[in-house]
């Protein structure tokens, strides 16, 4: 019987079926991702598909097979999800948080509403923009003019939701342009 | 004749990219950048400061004329 249950949670491509933890606020989704990662689960922050948006522009994607134990972990941490949505088709698939745009000699990565632009030739950060948190100008001032290898990540120097989402973009652009490993 | 970059109507980060390209092309000297949002003005000002260019900003109606010197 257990085998049947597990089998149902594997889709036709042989991949583990996924689910989404939905929260009221982005901060709760970020906290849930940290809690679950710390507990050893493989989870990922993503953008929700349009029809399940709650005002929070982040969801936590997870392997459906571990739903019960992960839900319990979140409840025990005092941060239960508002809703749990199985990813059944394209309409319920979460969206990648990062979008990449190539400007020739420059690459821009956008995560949610935060953008980072880097000069490809020397990995120098030329622009940080977006967001509405009060630490964005501070983050921009600390990062612009430095290379990806020189500057600290936004998560080390800022504490807002904007700093967190900028950090997602920062990690992605480092990955794409081959900056030093995080 | 002064070098000009017209970045009106362009969204972030394009005004910064055009400005950075002009900085690299000239190396030093004077040029103007015309933008039509406060965000572009702020982003270009931040870049200029970090790259050692002096910047002056003049507001004309809905536009900002930034003069960069090095």
Packing angle between helix B38-50 and helix A136-143, nearest 10 degrees? 30
Quick check: A26 pLDDT over 90?
A: no
- Domain span at B65: 3-69
Q: What is the pLDDT of residue A176?
A: 94
A112, A117, A121, A122: CA torsion to nearest 10: -110
Write out pLDDT tens, residues B28-67: 999 999 999 999 999 999 999 999 999 999 999 999 999 9
pLDDT band at A178 (very low <50, low <70, confident <90, very high): confident
Residue with tokens 């941490």: A77
Work out the pLDDT band at A56, boundaries 50, 70, 90. Answer: low
CA B58, CA B63: separation in Å to the nearest integer? Answer: 8
d(CA A157, CA A172): 18
pLDDT at residue number A179: 62
CB–CB of A106 and B20 under 8 A?
Answer: yes
Task: Write out chain A residues lying below 8 Å of B40, CB-based.
Answer: none
Q: Judge whether residue A98 has pLDDT over 80.
A: yes
On chain A, the residues whose CB falls within 8 A of the CB of B39 are 129
CB contact under 8 A, B17 and A115: no
- Asked whether residue A12 carries a pLDDT value surpassing 70, the answer given is no
Q: Has residue A74 got a pLDDT over 80?
A: yes
Phi/psi of residue B27, each to 5°?
Answer: 75, -60
The two tokens of residue A75 are 């409840």
* A2-92 CATH: 3.30.70.100
Asked casually if ipTM beats, i.e. exceeds, 0.90, the reply is no
Q: Name which of A71, A80, A24, A14 is nearest A48 in CA terms.
A: A24
> Which of B16, B21, B42 has its CB closest to that of A117?
B16
What local confidence, expressed as pLDDT, does residue B64 receive? Answer: 97
Query: What CATH number should be reported for the domain holding residue B50?
Result: 3.30.110.40
Rounded Cα–Cα distance for residues A137 and A131 (Å)? 10
Confidence of residue A118 (pLDDT cuts 50, 70, 90): very high
* Structural domains in chain B (count): 1
Query: Is-above-0.90 flag for pTM?
Result: no
Are residues B47 and A106, on separate chains, in Cβ contact within 8 Å?
no
- Enumerate the domain spans of chain A: 2-92, 98-177
Q: Is B3 helix (H, G, I), strand (E, B) or coil?
A: strand
Whether A61 shows a pLDDT value over 70: the answer reads yes
Task: Check pLDDT > 60 for residue A182.
Answer: no
Structure confidence at residue A11 as a pLDDT band (50, 70, 90): very low
- State the nearest Cα–Cα gap between A154 and chain B, in angstroms: 17
């Amino acid at each position: 019987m257990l085998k049947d249950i597990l089998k149902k949670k594997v889709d036709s491509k042989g991949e583990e079926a996924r689910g989404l933890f939905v929260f009221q606020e982005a901060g709760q989704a970020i906290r849930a991702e940290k809690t679950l990662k710390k507990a050893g689960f493989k989870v990922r922050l993503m953008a929700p598909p349009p029809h399940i948006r709650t005002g929070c522009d982040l969801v936590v994607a997870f392997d459906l097979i571990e739903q019960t134990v992960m839900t319990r972990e979140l409840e025990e941490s005092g941060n239960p999800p508002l809703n749990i949505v199985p990813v059944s088709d394209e309409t319920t698939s979460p969206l990648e948080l990062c979008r990449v745009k190539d400007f020739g000699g420059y690459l821009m990565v956008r995560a949610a509403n935060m953008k980072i632009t880097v000069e490809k030739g020397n990995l120098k950060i030329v622009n940080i923009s977006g967001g509405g948190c009060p630490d964005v100008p501070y983050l921009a001032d600390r990062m612009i003019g430095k290379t990806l290898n020189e500057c600290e990540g936004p998560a080390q120097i800022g504490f807002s939701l904007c700093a967190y989402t900028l950090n997602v973009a920062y990690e992605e652009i480092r990955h794409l342009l081959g900056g030093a490993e995080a | 004749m002064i070098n000009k970059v017209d970045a009106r109507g362009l969204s972030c980060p394009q005004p910064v990219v055009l400005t950075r390209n002009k900085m690299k092309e000239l190396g030093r000297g004077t040029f103007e950048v015309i933008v039509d949002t406060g965000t572009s003005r702020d982003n270009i000002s931040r870049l200029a400061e970090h790259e050692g260019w002096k910047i002056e900003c003049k507001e004309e109606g809905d536009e900002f004329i930034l003069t960069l010197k090095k």
